């Protein structure tokens, strides 16, 4: 895997002025249920709203809303903002808001050799970030390293309430890493072990699904009822949102497209012997689209090792073999996107991950593959290529802890 970040020494936390803020709310905050959950989620995602608007959007009566919000205001979870002038002769409307600083969260994203950490407020705003090498990927060493990082963050911020950790691979019940190939882990009860080591409630999630949650609440998916997130990096991943919810699947495996069979691009065998994925497939998505697969194809085609970003630069400059390799990967990426369009018909497809620049350099090949694999009447999709940042992934981990802590789901 190729991190685009500098792999230098760990950067210190740079926490903002957390101490200047009053401390509403209590440490022990019971998960919300029912309508209270809906009220908090509405304000969490969409910002401050007056009671009348909340009642209308959630289908609640005025008295019901007042009854539901009273304890939330008393506990400090919700606050009243300055009144807005009402139109006509009505009383000024007082917006209810959530105090984003009442609770802070830690998000940790693990890769095979690095650990990315953010502290966020309750709206997913990143307050501080840090990344460091992961010298020993064994579960014992990783748990100890997470505990050290969290302890250091809590020395500077006494409002940290919960922790989210994400990994590439299969995670069940937001607790157990069933299989994480990049770390070489199987059946690691990570949430339980990190909770024991840090004393903080901890949830664990697949990294792509967590990033999808963060995009839905705090990112470019906000306000959308359906979208897909395709990630290109050490693996190729897919996150799905339908009816405003992130899809998990019956076995927490929704979006596992790495070994999805594809039509081998016509040009691929002519430039090099057929690639394979880690399971020995010649014709799956992972054999073409991951960063390491593209680098391996480039080495075969150019007869020398070429880094991922150098290859993309060569292709952009008109290097013929480089262009063929890049377009073959883009063709397979387009096939994957077409599959999502055909099944889900999402409002947008977000593209992310450390290898995402492929979609820009070879946009024409992606578009051609989409057009040839979808019905003629299917409108061209809204593709959003996101600038890659690893702290986005760590924020995804924090979003999972915000969700579990605030909403209990």
CA-wise closest residue to 277 among 181, 362, 167, 172: 181
- Measured from the CB of residue 29, what is the shortest distance to Zn ion in angstroms? 44
- Quote the least distance from Cβ 287 to Zn ion, whole Å: 6
Q: Residue 240 interacts with Zn ion (CB under 5 A)?
A: no
Contact between 327 and 267 (Cβ < 8 Å): yes
With CB under 5 A as the rule, give the number of residues binding Zn ion.
6
- Per rule CB under 5 A, is residue 188 in the interface with Zn ion? no
Closer residue to Zn ion, CB minimum distance, 171 or 289: 289
Find the part of the chain contacting Zn ion (CB under 5 A) among 53-61, 135-143, 276-284, 378-386.
Answer: 276-284
Structure tokens at 17: 């002025």
Beta strand extents in 181-301 (DSSP E only): 185-188, 202-206, 227-232, 236-242, 245-246
- Of 91-99, 178-186, 283-291, 361-369, which part binds Zn ion (CB under 5 A)? 283-291
DSSP 11: P
Q: Which is nearer to Zn ion, 44 or 277 (CB)?
A: 277
Look up residue 93 and give its DSSP letter. B
Minimum distance from CB of 55 to Zn ion (Å)?
51
Q: Which is nearer to Zn ion, 289 or 400 (CB)?
A: 289
Decide if residue 259 touches Zn ion (CB under 5 A): yes
Within 8 A by CB and 6+ apart from 69, the residues are: 39, 51, 54, 78, 96
Where is 301: in which H helix or E strand?
A: helix 291-302
Q: Are 135 and 181 in contact (CB under 8 A)?
A: no
Among residues 119, 103, 21, the alpha carbon closest in space to that of 394 is found at: 119
Compute the least distance from the CB of residue 285 to Zn ion, in Å: 7
- Shortest distance in whole angstroms from residue 258 CB to Zn ion: 6
CA distance 205 to 226: 21
For 366, list phi and psi in degrees, rounded to 5. -60, -50
* 279 lines the binding site for Zn ion (CB under 5 A): yes
Site mask, Zn ion, residues 355-374, x = CB under 5 A? --------------------
* Binding test (CB under 5 A) with Zn ion, winner from 109, 161, 193, 281: 281
Could you say which residues in the range 97-116 bind Zn ion, by CB under 5 A? Answer: none
Tokens (6 digits) for 398: 């924090």
Interaction between residue 336 and Zn ion (CB under 5 A): no
264 touches Zn ion by CB under 5 A: no
- Taking CB under 5 A as the criterion, the residue among 106, 134, 188, 277 binding Zn ion is 277
- CA angle in degrees (0–180, nearest 5) for 91-93-99: 150
In the bound state with Zn ion, the residue whose beta carbon lies nearer, of 277 and 370, is 277
User: Who's near 25: CB < 8 A, 6+ residues apart?
Assistant: 75, 76, 77, 99, 102, 103
- Counted residue by residue, the chain has a size of 409
**What are the residues binding Zn ion (CB under 5 A)?**
259, 277, 279, 281, 284, 286
């Amino acid at each position: 895997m190729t991190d685009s970040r500098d792999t230098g020494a760990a950067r210190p936390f740079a926490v903002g002025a957390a101490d200047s803020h009053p401390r509403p709310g209590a440490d022990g905050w019971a998960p919300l249920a029912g309508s209270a959950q809906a009220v908090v989620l509405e304000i969490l995602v969409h910002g401050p709203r007056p009671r009348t608007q909340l009642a209308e959007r959630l289908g609640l009566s005025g008295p019901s809303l007042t009854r539901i919000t009273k304890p939330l205001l008393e506990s400090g979870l919700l606050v009243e903002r300055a009144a807005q002038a009402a139109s006509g002769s009505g009383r000024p409307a007082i917006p209810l808001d959530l105090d984003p600083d009442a609770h802070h969260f830690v998000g940790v994203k693990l890769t095979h050799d690095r650990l990315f950490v953010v502290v966020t407020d309750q709206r997913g705003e990143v307050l501080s970030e840090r990344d460091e090498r992961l010298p020993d990927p064994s579960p014992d060493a990783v748990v100890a390293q997470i505990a050290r990082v969290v302890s250091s963050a809590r020395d500077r911020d006494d409002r940290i309430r919960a922790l989210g950790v994400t990994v590439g691979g299969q995670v069940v019940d937001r607790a157990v890493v069933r299989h994480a190939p990049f770390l070489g882990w199987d059946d690691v009860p990570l949430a339980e072990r990190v909770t024991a080591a840090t004393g903080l409630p901890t949830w664990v999630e697949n990294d792509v699904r967590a990033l999808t949650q963060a995009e839905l609440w705090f990112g470019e998916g906000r306000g959308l009822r359906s979208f897909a997130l395709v990630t290109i990096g050490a693996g190729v991943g897919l996150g799905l949102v339908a009816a405003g919810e992130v899809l998990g699947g019956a076995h927490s495996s929704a979006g596992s497209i790495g070994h999805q069979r594809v039509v081998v691009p016509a040009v691929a065998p002519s430039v090099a012997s057929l690639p394979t994925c880690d399971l020995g497939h010649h014709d799956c998505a992972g054999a073409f689209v991951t960063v390491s697969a593209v680098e391996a194809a480039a080495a075969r085609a150019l007869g020398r090792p070429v880094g991922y970003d150098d290859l993309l630069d060569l292709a952009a400059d008109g290097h013929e073999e480089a262009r063929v390799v890049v377009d073959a990967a883009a063709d397979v990426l387009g096939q994957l996107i077409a599959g999502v369009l055909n099944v889900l018909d999402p409002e947008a497809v977000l593209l992310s991950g450390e290898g995402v620049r492929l979609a820009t350099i070879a946009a024409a090949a992606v578009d051609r593959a989409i057009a040839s694999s979808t019905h003629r009447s299917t409108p061209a999709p809204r593709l959003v290529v996101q600038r890659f940042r690893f702290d986005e992934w760590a924020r995804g981990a924090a979003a999972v802890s915000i969700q579990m802590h605030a909403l209990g789901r």
